[in-house]
Amino acid sequence: MSTSTNKNSYKGLYWIWAALTVVGILIGLYAPAWLMPRSMSNNMHLTVLTMVVFSVAAAPVAAGVYATALFALRHWAHKGDDVPAPGPQVRENAVVVTTWLVVSTVLTVFLLIWGLGALAVDNGSNGKNPLVVDVTGQQWVWSFSYPGTHVQSNELYLPVNREVEFRVTSVDVTHGFWIANMGIQVDANVGTITTIHTTPDKLGTFNIRCTQFCGLNHAFMVTEGHVLTSQQFTSWLASQPQRA
């Protein structure tokens, strides 16, 4: 087989790869925001952006796998019962090996750096007068208290555009405090307070779920949260009964 014939025979593969890459990039750009819960905080915006970047970066790689598989099905399928002769080896093809190593290294290092940066931002605090909320998990109810106000509630109320510091713990078994719309999830452990920050920036209602299988009614350990305007939040606090 001559080199030009060989190149021509792979043209179809390149076209399939290019088409699938475009499709993959479009999916990567639009699917995360469409499929993921409504983004209501800085953490969730970053999570959605990370999903977009990772999906777009993965699109050419995934397209290469699918294109090769589709091309192989169409062009390299062996017919008949006899054992086929071995195909050409790519092990010693310097261009293929070098390209693969360089591309996969660059891609992996990029994703690592992005991931570490996103993690640091995700766990960070802007230190600007955060609202502290104590979160307690107990089979099978979440309870929230607002230190300094004597207010406790089974639903979570937060003011918009103000950083919140959740101090999460459990009084029985390990629970998982998860607000999908806020992009935060942290274990609630007995005897330990775990802190996590977020800043809600959209008004509305969201669900809070337990992500650790915690017993009989784990599936019902769900409650509602609400992001209110600053005035509404102040009114809500004032309307709550004061504990003795």
Residues that bind other proteins (CB under 8 A): 136, 138-141, 143, 145, 152, 154-155, 171-173, 190, 207, 215-217, 220, 222-224, 241, 243-244
As measured in angstroms, the least distance from the Cβ of 86 to other proteins is 26
- Which parts of 36-168 fold into alpha helices (H)? 42-75, 94-123
Q: How far is the CB of 205 from other proteins (least distance, A)?
A: 8
| CB nearer other proteins, residue 152 or residue 194 | 152
Nearer to other proteins, 69 or 103 (CB): 69
Nearest distance, CB of residue 152 and other proteins, angstroms:
5
Q: Give the bridge partners for 16, in sequence order.
A: none
Select 165 or 172, whichever has its Cβ closest to other proteins: 172
Distance CA 241, CA 81 (A): 81
Question: Residue 117 or residue 215: which is nearer to other proteins going by CB?
Answer: 215
Helix segments in 76-137, DSSP class H: 94-123
CB burial of 163-196 (b: ≥16 within 10 Å; e: otherwise) equals bbebebbbeebebbbbbbbbbbebbbbeeeeeeb
CB of 200: closest distance to other proteins in angstroms? 17
> Three-state SS for 236?
helix
Tokens of 141: 């109810």
Question: CB 231 → other proteins: shortest distance, Å?
Answer: 23
* Cβ proximity of 142 and 178 under 8 Å: no
> Using CA atoms, how far apart are residues 128 and 173, in angstroms rounded to an integer?
33
Query: Nearer to other proteins by C-beta: 110 or 213?
Result: 213
Backbone angles phi, psi at 90, to 5 degrees: -105, 0
Shortest Å, Cβ 93 to other proteins: 34
Tokens of 84: 């086929």
Q: Which helix H or strand E contains 17, and what residues bound it?
A: helix 11-35
- In the bound complex, what is the minimum distance in angstroms from residue 213's beta carbon to other proteins? 12
CB 174 within 8 A of CB 189: yes
Residue with smaller CB distance to other proteins, 24 or 225: 225
For other proteins, the closer CB: 192 or 207: 207
All residues at 6 or more sequence positions from 7 whose CB lies less than 8 Å from its CB, including other chains: none
